[in-house]
Structure 1
Amino acid sequence: MFGPEGPSVRELAVQALSSVERGYDLLAPKFDHTPFRTPDAILDAVGSALRSAGPFDAGLDLCCGTGAGVGVLAGVCRERVTGVDFSAGMLDVARERVTPTGPPVSWVRADARALPFAPAFDLVVSFGAFGHFLPRELPVLFAQVRSVLRPGGCFAFPLVAPPRPGSPGYWALLGFDTVMRVRNAFWRPPFVMYYRAFRLGDVQRGLAAVGFGVELQPLPEFGRRPDGSPRVRLVMARLPDRAQVPG
């Protein structure tokens, strides 16, 4: 699961018994050598889709981690790119490893549930971070994203189809979520990472509730499942061109 440059079992155990923020501070130097980093294939596919939808002026990578998604934004944004994360350790690694090749890049430490920005972005992306938010937190998260987008702005993120019930992937995710729930029942502070809690129907309803129009774009690079549905979709949530207050 982890290469020789990845974290040891002991390091993972220490991380798992920490808070989310402290855990990622500890993991940051080796994060890019774990399966938790978004694969380049997904980053490239999202970048290709966004180039067709763009260009954009200012972009924000929400929960940017070590900055892998910032490269996607740098390829589609003309003026500036910002990465925001609440882990100081992850941001330190991002500053060291990400070399801007397009618009200038800035890094901001902040909680995604309380973003310190005006409506100054045309595009917000996020990769692999939603498992760190409980379902009840999604309305706040989506409202925060809406608050930093200009009229007509877009919130885009990939969503992998859940594994079929009874498949090895299904049991692996169920087992992981069960272990996390048991851990959080007996240990404080909690470590929120639930891979099965971010469901497409809930996401669509939550985005619509704060004023987004939602489109689902298949990423053809990943093909389709036996039932014909896409293996990976790009969720494209757009605001109307003129600011409106949701009813």
Structure 2
Amino acid sequence: MKPEKHNKMSNNLEFDIVKNSFEWLSAQRIQSVKELSSTLSAHALWELPNPYITRLILEQDNDGSWNSSIRDTARASSALSTEGIVFTASARWLLARKKENFWNRDVYDTAYALAALADMGTQNKDGCNWLSENYCPAWEQIGTTSLIITALKKQDNLTKTRTFETFIQEKARWILSKKRLDGGWIHISTSNLAIQALLLAGFKDEVEDSVNWLLENVHENGAWGNKGDDINATALTLSTLGLYKKS
């Protein structure tokens, strides 16, 4: 289903789409930490009853991690923080796995960890420096750059500084330069990461057409996905719409 194009997000259209999408999500078997985290965040941003909090907490390991995975632990920690829940054991677990100034010498692990630490109120400037100083052509992808922007901006917001603002603005404008004429960046999940990063960086007006593109690409049953229906893509999109509404 593709609703008629509109210049501004209609409140009625938004309500209908969001309502249908949450109904679709509630009927799915949501089991992985990634899906639980994104679904929990979507409910939190729309201030809905959140049965996924308990389910996600029950998946936590005794050491404070989720699946002994940096990304799962970061995703879960960030999601729970949207409901004001912070486990210091999870922050300690993440910090204990940082070697030198990075996590696994991996851009994704490092970006996810830094964003989660910021969400939990923990500063880590060395990790931020590693991301900004080692940015290279291999990282010049929409999703990767969006995750880096999100991590750096959250850390800057935490410390109430603008240490990485020049870098953030430069990369945000690069992401905008890659936006298609229809407002999207090809893939639903990648587009969501881009829109969320750009909203965080202060580019709300520039992503209005991107939000409309999301609304125009919802499936008839209320789900989103590149081909079939996808739980994570749907939850990410609901979070994006919630963030846009709150910005």
Q: TM-score range by the shorter chain?
A: under 0.3
Structure number with higher relative contact order (C-alpha < 8 Å, ≥ 6 residues apart): 2
Q: More helix by proportion, 1 or 2?
A: 2
TM value normalised by structure 1: 0.26
TM value normalised by structure 2: 0.26
